[in-house]
């Protein structure tokens, strides 16, 4: 039996089985083998679970997190682009509003977390460096022109540049670049440092960490009461938050009608390093769609260059494949030929928690005592600041704040709950 956490890195492509949902309700009083109840128990110690725990603890709630390796999960693989504008898609205006709201919070969030964790200014690797999305051929250029039009209709700032203007900004770009979009508002953060800082901030805020697998949800008299660990220990809580990334739909004991419809979407990512004589190799994130596949290069101040990412629907498989590495290097090389000179330091695959509408599931479910913070898909790092605030509000008040109402987990069963698009509506071109 495989328990459910956010930090699964098994190469197996077999979905972790759910245990029987027919869990025996324990008695009201915590029996032997159980711990004192907390206000909140977060299942999953990835960045979404940790930010939820940290913000809830700051609001005066007693909080515990259960995860065998807190601070792990998809953040150990993610590149950390904060790409609200360059990753805009048709039909995702409501998600765009949430993404922009979180992006706006990043500078203050990064400063507060750096202080709370003691990692110091700049310790999260937050860089307001901007992004350049470029086109390599006429198909790519047509795609980018469409994106530009959508951005303008959505009131977003981006500037069309000729190929020459792109290369003036980033001299390492291939001479064949046909044009590009300069987006000065899409920045980056280092997700590994973000996860490490959140873990320290949680500990300093008094969050209890249970380094174990959650085996199943306890449901007593139609209310979630916490979880049972693999060793039989019971963790009781007033509210349980399922924040287990791509595995959030696998926790045994969760009734089928509240089980989050998340699925794993594999992303293979490479890490290279830029030796001092080559620096600065790139000054901002550079990305493109090459033959229909997204490729991005994210340069960090410490010389790391992250190249991502594949997008594969292969269940819980996290194998790094020759084909995945080949395609990423081939596409990155077309964009920035000098990349083949750099040392390749790491290859890794992670699992994005995909949802049916590519948007997160936040807040109360129809099962009293169970809330969700999952399904962030391509935007987990970007949405971390906002998710922490939204979840803390929801845990304290029992309701989502207005800006997150559209992301209720109940929207799939009850579409009438979703308010009309907020902030603005896309107009036809």
Binding residues for ligand GLY (CB under 6 A): 81, 87, 267, 308-309, 352, 378
Q: Which two tokens stand for residue 405?
A: 């109402």
Tell me whether residue 101 or residue 351 sits nearer to ligand GLY (CB atom). Answer: 351
Q: How far apart are CB 381 and ligand GLY at their closest, in Å?
A: 8
Q: Give the other-Cβ count within 10 Å of 107's Cβ.
A: 13
The enclosing H or E element of 362 equals: strand 361-364
Separation in Å, CA 135 to CA 145, 221, 334, 369, 410: 10, 58, 11, 49, 39
In whole angstroms, give the CA distance from residue 413 to residue 263: 18
Tell me whether residue 82 or residue 400 sits nearer to ligand GLY (CB atom). Answer: 82
Residue 288 has what DSSP assignment? E
Tell me whether residue 97 or residue 295 sits nearer to ligand GLY (CB atom). Answer: 295
Q: How far apart are CB 248 and ligand GLY at their closest, in Å?
A: 17
Q: Which two tokens stand for residue 403?
A: 């800006």
In whole angstroms, give the CA distance from residue 72 to residue 246: 13
Q: How far apart are CB 28 and ligand GLY at their closest, in Å?
A: 43
Q: How far apart are CB 379 and ligand GLY at their closest, in Å?
A: 6
Q: Which two tokens stand for residue 404?
A: 């997150």
Tell me whether residue 16 or residue 308 sits nearer to ligand GLY (CB atom). Answer: 308
Tell me whether residue 87 or residue 331 sits nearer to ligand GLY (CB atom). Answer: 87
354-375 burial, b at 16+ Cβ within 10 Å, e below that, comes to bbebbbbbbbbbebebbbbbbb
Q: How far apart are CB 83 and ligand GLY at their closest, in Å?
A: 6
In whole angstroms, give the CA distance from residue 324 to residue 234: 42
Residue 44 has what DSSP assignment? -
Tell me whether residue 236 or residue 378 sits nearer to ligand GLY (CB atom). Answer: 378
Q: Which two tokens stand for residue 304?
A: 């790391």
Q: How far apart are CB 87 and ligand GLY at their closest, in Å?
A: 6
Tell me whether residue 40 or residue 77 sits nearer to ligand GLY (CB atom). Answer: 77
Q: How far apart are CB 349 and ligand GLY at their closest, in Å?
A: 11
* Closest CB to ligand GLY: residue number: 378
Q: Classify the phi-psi angles of 59: left when phi > 0, otherwise alpha if psi is within -120 to 50, otherwise beta.
A: alpha
Q: How far apart are CB 310 and ligand GLY at their closest, in Å?
A: 8
In whole angstroms, give the CA distance from residue 166 to residue 190: 25
Half-sphere exposure of 411 (CA within 13 A, CB side): 21
Q: Which two tokens stand for residue 263?
A: 């699925």
Tell me whether residue 65 or residue 82 sits nearer to ligand GLY (CB atom). Answer: 82
């Amino acid at each position: 039996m495989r328990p459910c956490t956010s930090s699964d890195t098994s190469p197996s492509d077999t979905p972790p089985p759910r245990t029987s949902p027919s869990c025996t309700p324990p008695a009201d009083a915590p029996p032997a083998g159980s711990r004192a109840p907390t206000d909140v128990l977060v299942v999953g110690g990835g960045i979404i679970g940790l930010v939820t725990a940290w913000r809830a603890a700051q609001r005066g709630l007693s909080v515990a997190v259960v995860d065998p390796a807190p601070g792990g999960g998809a953040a150990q693989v993610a590149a950390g682009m904060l790409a609200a504008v360059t990753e805009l898609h048709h039909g995702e205006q409501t998600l765009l509003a949430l993404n922009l709201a979180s992006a706006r919070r990043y500078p203050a969030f990064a400063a507060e977390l750096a202080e709370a964790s003691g990692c110091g200014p700049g310790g999260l690797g937050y860089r307001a460096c901007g992004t350049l999305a470029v086109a390599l051929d006429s198909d790519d250029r047509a795609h980018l022109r469409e994106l530009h039009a959508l951005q303008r209709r959505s009131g977003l700032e981006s500037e069309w540049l000729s190929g020459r203007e792109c290369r003036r900004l980033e001299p390492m770009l291939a001479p064949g670049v046909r044009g590009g979009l300069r987006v000065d508002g899409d920045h980056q953060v280092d997700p590994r440092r973000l996860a490490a800082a959140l873990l320290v901030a949680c500990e300093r805020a008094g969050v209890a960490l249970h380094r174990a697998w959650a085996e199943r949800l306890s449901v007593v008299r139609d209310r979630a009461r916490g979880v049972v660990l693999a060793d039989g220990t019971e963790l009781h809580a007033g509210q349980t938050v399922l924040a287990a990334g791509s595995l959030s739909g696998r926790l045994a004991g969760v009734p089928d009608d509240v089980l989050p419809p998340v699925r794993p979407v594999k992303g293979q990512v490479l890490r290279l390093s830029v030796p001092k004589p080559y620096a600065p190799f790139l000054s901002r994130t550079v990305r493109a769609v090459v033959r229909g596949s997204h490729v991005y290069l994210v340069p960090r101040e410490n010389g790391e260059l992250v190249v991502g990412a594949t997008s594969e629907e292969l269940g819980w498989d996290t194998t790094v494949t020759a084909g995945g590495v080949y395609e990423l290097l081939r596409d990155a090389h077309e964009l920035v030929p000098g990349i083949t000179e750099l040392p390749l330091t790491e290859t890794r695959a992670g699992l994005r928690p995909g949802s049916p509408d590519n948007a997160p599931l936040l807040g109360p479910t129809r099962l009293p005592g169970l809330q969700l913070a999952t399904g962030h898909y391509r935007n987990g790092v970007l949405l971390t600041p906002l998710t922490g605030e939204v979840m803390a509000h929801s845990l304290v008040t029992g309701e989502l704040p207005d800006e997150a109402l559209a992301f209720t987990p109940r929207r799939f069963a009850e579409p009438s709950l979703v308010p009309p698009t907020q902030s603005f509506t896309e107009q036809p071109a």
